[in-house]
Amino acid sequence: MAVSMENHPQAVFDIERIRAQFPVLAREVHGKPLVYLDSAATAQRPQSVIDAVSDFYGRYNANVHRGVHQLSVEASEAFEQARTTVREHLNAASDREIVFTRGTTEAINLVAQSYLRPKLEPGDEILITHMEHHSNIVPWQLLCEQTGAVLKVAPINRRGELLVDELEQLIGERTKLIGIVHVSNALGTVNPVAEVCRIARERGVATLVDGAQATPHVDVDVQALGCDFYCLSAHKMYGPTGIGCLYGREVLLEAMPPWQGGGEMITRVSFEETTYNDLPHKFEAGTPNIAGAIGMGEAFRFLQRTGIEAIARHEAGLLAHATETMQSIDGLTIVGTAEHKGPVVSFTLEGAHPNDIGTIVDHFGVAIRTGHHCAMPVMQFFEVPATARISFGVYNTTEEIDVFLEALGKARTMLA
Ligand code: 7TS
């Protein structure tokens, strides 16, 4: 993990206390206790997040920013307080730099269409890496179709690590933006994002970091990373679905045109002329996901209360246990063996299709993900059609990994 363990050796991590906060962990699946190993797809929610959402709907549901009545004032305050919580957690310079979006995907599309599109000439280049999620590939491909720009791809090695020197060589006169994933969902690789952002800055190239898989596991400080844009999804970090945010440096956001028009994003409208609202509202057309934003704020508070270093240390232990055990299984290949990894193990098993593995272990109560993980180029690079993937969150235990391994053994016997 990117987070050092040495700094906080005194931190106590009470796994039973953590697990008790997640009501879903008490349920059974096919008559077996749920073992949830699919947090990279979406994490489970602690009671505090569920309560924050429910409390909004139950006690002060109202639209934000335009009401004089008490409920609207309370809703607006909670909504903007959530923005402040996100800003503090990411160490952004100002609340104006935090734009609420539907999630990572929408944040990347916003940057593609509002920041980059007006700047691009035919032949300009956008540089990404070979380990991106489709949401950090397809928006750029759409943009290339719209503008005649060209998509370049920085290579990875057989361990699933980015070749930074080769990325650097791909930066040219016409490179306008580098898009890079912080933690890969398909491989687990933690990228040297600060180094890539430094290189980009020296060459005058803008940077966008896809932080969807990083925020639940890594202490993210956007100023220390030195990125221009950072994108995240609340549902990966114990918050609600349908909400996330775009961090953007204020000077850049200020210069960008709105990308969706409607209410909230204007100060004055006439048929002749419309003036746009201040940041960040300029980018938040329409009634926002108010409950989602409040839930996201609570999810960040959950991370802070639990302690991101303690979480990272716990998850590193889970990753080490799973990796060690799985390495010794005959015919099992771990896909993604980077030196710096988040809590994700993608693998293939000789003679067994990943989907069949997933279906069988589900009967033992174990939830894992199988498929291409929305990272088809990664599958192409490793020449596999799909992998099975286990991924961990704050609530998982080594005992759960052992339950999974036992179920995997049974799957193997059944499929042989
Ligand atoms: N980037 C990365 C690295 C991701 O892992 C995901 C979702 C996204 C972007 C998109 O996030 P969204 O919230 O906008 O959808 N990854 C996965 C996954 O690994 N399994 O299901 C979704």
For ligand 1, the distance from its centroid to the CA atom of residue 41, given in whole angstroms, is 6
For ligand 1, atom 15: residue with the closest CA: 105
Q: What is the pLDDT of residue 2?
A: 38
Nearest atom within ligand 1 for CA of residue 105: 14
Residue ranges lining ligand 1, Cβ < 6 Å = 40-41, 103-105, 133, 135, 181, 185, 210, 212-213, 233, 369, 373-374
Q: CA–CA separation, 128 vs 180, rounded Å?
A: 6
Nearest atom within ligand 1 for CA of residue 132: 3
Give the domain ranges of the chain.
Answer: 15-44+308-415, 50-304
Q: What is the pLDDT of residue 3?
A: 40
For ligand 1, the distance from its centroid to the CA atom of residue 321, given in whole angstroms, is 25
56: alpha, beta or left? (left if phi > 0; alpha if psi -120 to 50): alpha
Q: What is the pLDDT tens value at each position of the chain, 416 positions in all? A: 334 444 444 457 899 999 999 999 999 999 999 999 999 999 999 999 999 999 999 999 999 987 899 999 999 999 999 999 999 999 999 999 999 999 999 999 999 999 999 999 999 999 999 999 999 999 999 999 999 999 999 999 999 999 999 999 999 999 999 999 999 999 999 999 999 999 999 999 999 999 999 999 999 999 999 999 999 999 999 999 999 999 999 999 999 999 999 998 999 999 999 999 999 999 999 999 999 999 999 999 999 999 999 999 999 999 999 999 999 999 999 999 999 999 999 999 999 999 999 999 999 999 999 999 999 999 999 999 999 999 999 999 999 999 999 999 999 999 98
For 40, the token pair is 């990279």
Separation of first and last alpha carbons in the chain: 36
CATH number of the structural domain 15-44+308-415: 3.90.1150.10
Q: What is the pLDDT of residue 11?
A: 53
Instruction: Tell me if residue 231 is catalytic.
Output: no
Q: What is the pLDDT of residue 5?
A: 41
CB 296 within 8 A of CB 245: yes
Q: Which residues contact 295 (CB under 8 A, 6 or more apart)?
A: 45, 49, 52, 53, 234, 239, 240, 243
Q: CA–CA separation, 178 vs 412, rounded Å?
A: 42
Q: What is the pLDDT of residue 67?
A: 82
Nearest atom within ligand 1 for CA of residue 184: 3
- The architecture (CATH level 2) of 50-304 comes to 3-Layer(aba) Sandwich (3.40)
Q: Which of 182, 213, 217 to mutate to test the pocket of ligand 1 (most atoms within 8 A of CB)?
A: 213
Q: What is the pLDDT of residue 12?
A: 73
Counting every residue written for the chain, the total comes to 416
Q: What is the pLDDT of residue 7?
A: 46
CB 293 within 8 A of CB 85: no
CB 201 within 8 A of CB 167: no
Q: What is the pLDDT of residue 8?
A: 46
Give the three-class secondary structure for 35: strand
Global pTM? 0.96
For ligand 1, the distance from its centroid to the CA atom of residue 184, given in whole angstroms, is 9
